[in-house]
Chain A
Amino acid sequence: MLEKTKELFRQSIVVRFSGDSGDGMQLAGTIFSNVSAEVGDQISTFPDYPAEVRAPQGSLNGVSGFQVHIGHGVHTPGDECDVLVAMNPAALKQNAGFLRRGGVAIVDIDSFKKADLEKALFTTDDPYTEIDLKAQVVEVPMTSMVKAALADSGMDFKAQMKCRNMFALGLVCWLFNMPLDGALHFLQKKFEKKPAVYEANAKVVRGGFDYGHNIHASVSTYRIESDKARPGIYTDVNGNKATAWGLILASEKSGRPLFLGSYPITPATDILHELAKRRDLGVKACQMEDEIGGICSALGASFAGHLAVTSTSGPGLALKSEALGLGVMAELPLVLIDVQRGGPSTGLPTKTEQTDLLQALYGRSGECPLVVLAALSPTDCFHMAFEAARLAIEHMTPVILLTDAFIANGSSAWRIPDEDDYPEIHPNYVPEEMREGWRAYQRNAEGVRYWAIPGTEGLQHRVGGLEKDYDTGVLSNDPLNHERMVNARKEKVANVARHIPEQELLGDADADTVLVGWGGTYGHLYTAMEQLQEQGRKIAFTQFRYINPLPVNTRELLTRFKRVIVAELNDGQFAHYLQAEIPELNICRINKVQGQPFLVHEIVDQVNKIMEG
């Protein structure tokens, strides 16, 4: 089921700074490109000056721009930009055409007042609609923040505003993970003879950086683009939104209303935002008092007969682990979305990692198995959220879906599925003929407990966290009964393997070496495999998205290879899991724990090194 169309993976970004010619956009752009070069990126820049040296302030003719293309495989300044910084309405209007569809526009909202809009010949008070801007707009009060930062500097307003470009630079440095040292060093040299000016600029550039940090600013700049699109209707979607939508479809296909109990946490909050909007589809999304309240309200809604979901990131998953255990014990359907970020503890809240895998698999008290899935890409979040809900409902179990900051914020063109692209979901209701004398912990042939929807006459029952008797469902401390129930819960989850697709192999099936990944690294690993093949290497590739249980053919598929290279954004968690499940595998590891996605060339280099022995 992996996408087999050739995919193009972008690992470079184009940023365009634009403003009045007096706004210092060239300087901001130059510093950004120099700093990028210092950290090892390839760069290509393109200054775009106005014809006049000083056209009237705020006018269309006075707009100046500077485009920077950084990353790997960069040979041009880029046709379109991913991020457009616009210091005023004129800059936005002049440069919006360069911004790719679904890109990000960062504007100084303080300079979007009525008079500013008029200078740029806008005729309405909604400039975005007026120019048909198809972008994510980030409105930042730059002018007022610069003013506040320099309140004690003794500088007049005009002088203060000359530093506004540095605020934009600081914010962009935050977004693209550029340390400020390089920028500060550059400023120090430039203003060697004017220490006061240096101090002011340094303060503002730090202010912009800290602002991004404080509001957990992030932008979707990475895309996986399919160059051979299937006919259909498309839209742009990021991983978090796709996740929310997949859950809504599952609600429609199961006939169970959707409930979300959640608590804000970066980078998962956009799932709460999207589902909160979807009152228009009957979704009940509730912001609870804490992470535990989030999952517990969801468990209450699940017991009440809803498709219940809670969304979080790593630290929230830790807080929810006791309630997950309750979900396992009460055998209720529940979907937990963990948008992984850098950890442990508060860690790197806006950065991406795959470090919650073992927590998802094992992080609970007692023998507590549940289903663990992972999404491959922004659009795959839709599919896997649907799958998570399907398996939870049909197998009466909590399911954890692991996504990550990279695919959650990353966006991609997505073909809107047709009505019948997805199957109906069949809740395991108590069959009519079993109602008489039905007991809460009776199981079907798959070992699945039945779901009695409250309000149904005659199906009153009691569930809870204490161990129950296998037959009667009454509390039991019997030693052998406990072991029997532990096994029953384990088998129920293991049986899910019969209801998921087999693992697919890409690349050279007759190779000695297979490259293995899981979840959101799919795009990088796939591209790395292609590059390795272009270099003449024989290599196979497979990316896991069903983690527990593993697809039934996993052992057969992986034991064909002399060498299994597991690449992941952690210190070897999936490799550890695979080795435990299939001890005979000869596993080599590629690991990165920097809060950053893989770079394709890193994988290619390391695979080459391993294969050369």
Chain B
Amino acid sequence: MEQNTQQPYQPKDFKSDQTVRWCPGCGDHAVLNVLHKAMAELGIPPHMNAVISGIGCSSRLPYYMNTYAFHTIHGRGGAVATGFKTARPDMTVWQVAGDGDGLAIGGNHFIHEVRRNVDLNLLLLNNKIYGLTKGQYSPTSDRGFVSKSSPYGTTEDPFIPAELVFGARGTFFARGIDVELKISQEIMTEAVKHKGCSVVEILQNCMIFNNGIHNYITARETRADRTIHLVHGQKMIFGKDLDKGLVQDGFGLKAVTIGQDGYTIDDVLVHDACCQSNFLHQQLAMMDGTTLPLAIGVIRNVEAPTYEAEVEAQVQDVKARHGYRNLREMILDGDTWQVD
């Protein structure tokens, strides 16, 4: 473990003493290590962090954290985290969910925590499969996906997590892939800096039940051409030789090679994650690596009031205007009578 003497905390300060029990080669290992590093980089003390999860392979993560941590029940991490953060706005709260936990059984809590804009950092680990129950299709599995519970292929379309986030008026959406550690660390720290519900989707491999599901995107040889790392304020360029760019094409986007067909670097769009309108963010998030590169990095990052801060502010405001010191004072202010 590398040491950084500039930082008040090291990654090891956020590690618990419990044995990590994911399968060898699971993408969760990478996410856990990156999370420890991101926490050290942020410098928020371990005791001011809370990590909350539901059920699934990835939801075991809280056991490996030297923070306040709560491994809850299937799908409910979002609701538990909402209550925690509302009670304790001063703590930094992380939620860890898988694609089944977050988008199937916990789908309702997911859209509502996004809508409320609770200041949570939600790591959505998407391996497009149920691993802990041994290989059933998930709500992010592609149509026709063959699994133990869909031996003839699924007959339903998947959710695209970003679309749900935008539909629920999300203020922050970032995407990473388990093999791009630096980018994952970058988006996790950005998520914490963003005040509001920060959804970080990490595409992640399951060695046992869905090995290679993201290979099209993650394979070393083609990764540079099939992904684009978006950074706020920078040109949207990608490719092994960084010679490709995204340009506006009518109402949509187009990938071009700079210097070909009359396109110059000036035609390439500059990423604006902070634009209030999510129109272009959604277009960027929907790119899937086929005709357009899959977007990773922070895609949307806008400011809006957060739920827990508004609740706290309302409490303070009401107390200041017509608050009571205690229950008795409040009751006596109402309709009462004396019996002697």
A: residues with CB less than 8 A from B are 134, 229-236, 245, 248-249, 252, 257, 259, 261, 278-284, 286, 288-290, 292-293, 296-306, 308, 322-323, 325-326, 330, 415-417, 419, 452, 454-466, 474-475
Query: By the criterion CB–CB under 8 Å, are B336 and A235 in contact?
Result: yes
Query: By the criterion CB–CB under 8 Å, are A305 and B73 in contact?
Result: no
Any A CB within 8 A of the CB of B241: no
B 304-337 to A, binary, CB cutoff 8 A, 1 in contact else 0: 0000000100110011001110111011101111
Query: By the criterion CB–CB under 8 Å, are A304 and B88 in contact?
Result: yes
Q: B residues within 8 A CB of A249?
A: 327
The smallest C-beta distance from B134 to any residue of chain A, in angstroms, reads: 17
Query: By the criterion CB–CB under 8 Å, are B87 and A465 in contact?
Result: no
6 contacts between A and B (CB under 8 A): A231-B339, A281-B327, A300-B82, A303-B84, A460-B67, A462-B69
The smallest C-beta distance from B109 to any residue of chain A, in angstroms, reads: 6
Q: A residues within 8 A CB of B62?
A: 462, 464
The smallest C-beta distance from A362 to any residue of chain B, in angstroms, reads: 19
Query: By the criterion CB–CB under 8 Å, are A457 and B47 in contact?
Result: yes
Q: B residues within 8 A CB of A460?
A: 46-47, 66-69
Q: B residues within 8 A CB of A231?
A: 339-340
Q: A residues within 8 A CB of B86?
A: 259, 284, 286, 297, 300-301
In the complex, A454 Cα to B47 Cα: how many Å? 7
Q: A residues within 8 A CB of B324?
A: 280-281
Q: A residues within 8 A CB of B72?
A: 296, 299, 326, 464-465
Query: By the criterion CB–CB under 8 Å, are A284 and B339 in contact?
Result: no
The smallest C-beta distance from B125 to any residue of chain A, in angstroms, reads: 18
Q: A residues within 8 A CB of B314?
A: 279
Any A CB within 8 A of the CB of B239: no
Query: By the criterion CB–CB under 8 Å, are A305 and B69 in contact?
Result: no
Query: By the criterion CB–CB under 8 Å, are B108 and A301 in contact?
Result: no
In the complex, A289 Cα to B118 Cα: how many Å? 14
Given contacts A454-B47, A459-B47, contact A304 B83 (CB under 8 A): yes
The smallest C-beta distance from A129 to any residue of chain B, in angstroms, reads: 12
Q: B residues within 8 A CB of A454?
A: 47, 50, 68, 84, 88, 91
Q: B residues within 8 A CB of A475?
A: 18, 63
Q: Among B70, B85, B336, which residue has the most Cβ atoms of chain A within 10 A?
A: B70
In the complex, A252 Cα to B340 Cα: how many Å? 28
Given contacts A257-B87, A299-B80, A454-B88, contact A284 B326 (CB under 8 A): no
In the complex, A322 Cα to B76 Cα: how many Å? 10
Query: By the criterion CB–CB under 8 Å, are A284 and B319 in contact?
Result: no
Q: B residues within 8 A CB of A299?
A: 72, 80, 83
Any A CB within 8 A of the CB of B157: no
A interface: dominant SS: mixed
The smallest C-beta distance from B189 to any residue of chain A, in angstroms, reads: 21
Q: B residues within 8 A CB of A282?
A: 315, 319, 323
Query: By the criterion CB–CB under 8 Å, are A284 and B63 in contact?
Result: no
Q: B residues within 8 A CB of A304?
A: 50, 83-84, 87-88, 91
Any A CB within 8 A of the CB of B183: no
The smallest C-beta distance from B174 to any residue of chain A, in angstroms, reads: 24
In the complex, A465 Cα to B62 Cα: how many Å? 12
Q: Among B55, B69, B81, which residue has the most Cβ atoms of chain A within 10 A?
A: B69
Which residue in chain B gives the minimum CB-CB distance to A296? B79
| Size of interface on B: residues with Cβ below 8 Å to A | 57
Query: By the criterion CB–CB under 8 Å, are B84 and A300 in contact?
Result: yes
Query: By the criterion CB–CB under 8 Å, are A284 and B337 in contact?
Result: no
Query: By the criterion CB–CB under 8 Å, are A281 and B323 in contact?
Result: yes
Query: By the criterion CB–CB under 8 Å, are B80 and A303 in contact?
Result: yes
Query: By the criterion CB–CB under 8 Å, are B83 and A322 in contact?
Result: no
Q: B residues within 8 A CB of A280?
A: 318-319, 322-324, 330
Q: A residues within 8 A CB of B83?
A: 259, 261, 286, 296-302, 304, 308
User: Which B252-267 residues have a C-beta within 8 angstroms of A?
Assistant: none
In the complex, A261 Cα to B112 Cα: how many Å? 14
Q: A residues within 8 A CB of B66?
A: 460
Which residue in chain A gives the minimum CB-CB distance to B84? A300
In the complex, A330 Cα to B53 Cα: how many Å? 14
The smallest C-beta distance from A18 to any residue of chain B, in angstroms, reads: 23
In the complex, A301 Cα to B52 Cα: how many Å? 12
Query: By the criterion CB–CB under 8 Å, are A306 and B87 in contact?
Result: yes
Any A CB within 8 A of the CB of B226: no
Query: By the criterion CB–CB under 8 Å, are A463 and B311 in contact?
Result: no
Query: By the criterion CB–CB under 8 Å, are A301 and B71 in contact?
Result: no
The smallest C-beta distance from B78 to any residue of chain A, in angstroms, reads: 8
In the complex, A257 Cα to B88 Cα: how many Å? 10
Q: B residues within 8 A CB of A134?
A: 335
Q: A residues within 8 A CB of B332?
A: 233, 416
Query: By the criterion CB–CB under 8 Å, are B52 and A300 in contact?
Result: yes
Any A CB within 8 A of the CB of B208: no
Quick one: which of A248, A257, A292, A457 contacts B79, CB cutoff 8 A? A292
User: Which B48-104 residues have a C-beta within 8 angstroms of A?
Assistant: 48, 50, 52, 55, 62-63, 65-73, 76, 79-88, 90-91
Quick one: which of A252, A279, A288, A474 contacts B82, CB cutoff 8 A? A288
Query: By the criterion CB–CB under 8 Å, are A330 and B70 in contact?
Result: yes
In the complex, A252 Cα to B330 Cα: how many Å? 13
Quick one: which of B80, B108, B338 contacts A300, CB cutoff 8 A? B80
Any A CB within 8 A of the CB of B16: yes
The smallest C-beta distance from B83 to any residue of chain A, in angstroms, reads: 3
The smallest C-beta distance from B35 to any residue of chain A, in angstroms, reads: 15
Query: By the criterion CB–CB under 8 Å, are B327 and A303 in contact?
Result: no
The smallest C-beta distance from A176 to any residue of chain B, in angstroms, reads: 26
In the complex, A301 Cα to B319 Cα: how many Å? 21
Quick one: which of A232, A235, A290, A462 contacts B70, CB cutoff 8 A? A462
In the complex, A322 Cα to B72 Cα: how many Å? 10
Query: By the criterion CB–CB under 8 Å, are A293 and B319 in contact?
Result: no
In the complex, A497 Cα to B226 Cα: how many Å? 66
In the complex, A289 Cα to B115 Cα: how many Å? 11
In the complex, A282 Cα to B83 Cα: how many Å? 15
Query: By the criterion CB–CB under 8 Å, are A284 and B47 in contact?
Result: no
In the complex, A272 Cα to B151 Cα: how many Å? 47
Other than the given A300-B52, A454-B84, 10 more pairs (CB < 8 A) read A233-B338, A234-B338, A234-B339, A281-B324, A296-B79, A299-B83, A323-B73, A415-B339, A460-B67, A475-B18
Given contacts A455-B47, A457-B47, A460-B47, contact A303 B68 (CB under 8 A): yes
Query: By the criterion CB–CB under 8 Å, are A279 and B319 in contact?
Result: yes
User: Which B151-196 residues have a C-beta within 8 angstroms of A?
Assistant: none
Any A CB within 8 A of the CB of B45: yes
Q: Among A284, A304, A322, A417, which residue has the most Cβ atoms of chain B within 10 A?
A: A304
The smallest C-beta distance from A66 to any residue of chain B, in angstroms, reads: 29
Which residue in chain A gives the minimum CB-CB distance to B47? A457
Q: A residues within 8 A CB of B339?
A: 229-234, 415
Which residue in chain A gives the minimum CB-CB distance to B70? A303
Which residue in chain A gives the minimum CB-CB distance to B105? A292
Given contacts A233-B338, A234-B339, A279-B314, contact A465 B326 (CB under 8 A): no
In the complex, A249 Cα to B330 Cα: how many Å? 11
Given contacts A229-B339, A233-B336, A245-B331, contact A301 B87 (CB under 8 A): yes
Q: B residues within 8 A CB of A298?
A: 83
Query: By the criterion CB–CB under 8 Å, are A301 and B84 in contact?
Result: yes
The smallest C-beta distance from B176 to any residue of chain A, in angstroms, reads: 25
Query: By the criterion CB–CB under 8 Å, are B88 and A465 in contact?
Result: no
Which residue in chain B gives the minimum CB-CB distance to A297? B83
Query: By the criterion CB–CB under 8 Å, are A293 and B109 in contact?
Result: yes
Q: B residues within 8 A CB of A286?
A: 82-83, 86, 311
The smallest C-beta distance from B70 to any residue of chain A, in angstroms, reads: 5
In the complex, A464 Cα to B74 Cα: how many Å? 12
Quick one: which of A233, A252, A284, A300 contacts B81, CB cutoff 8 A? A300
The smallest C-beta distance from A479 to any residue of chain B, in angstroms, reads: 19
Q: Among A231, A296, A463, which residue has the most Cβ atoms of chain B within 10 A?
A: A296
Q: Among B81, B328, B340, which residue has the most Cβ atoms of chain A within 10 A?
A: B328
Q: B residues within 8 A CB of A322?
A: 73
Q: B residues within 8 A CB of A235?
A: 331, 334-337
Which residue in chain B gives the minimum CB-CB distance to A277? B318
In the complex, A325 Cα to B73 Cα: how many Å? 9
The smallest C-beta distance from A376 to any residue of chain B, in angstroms, reads: 21
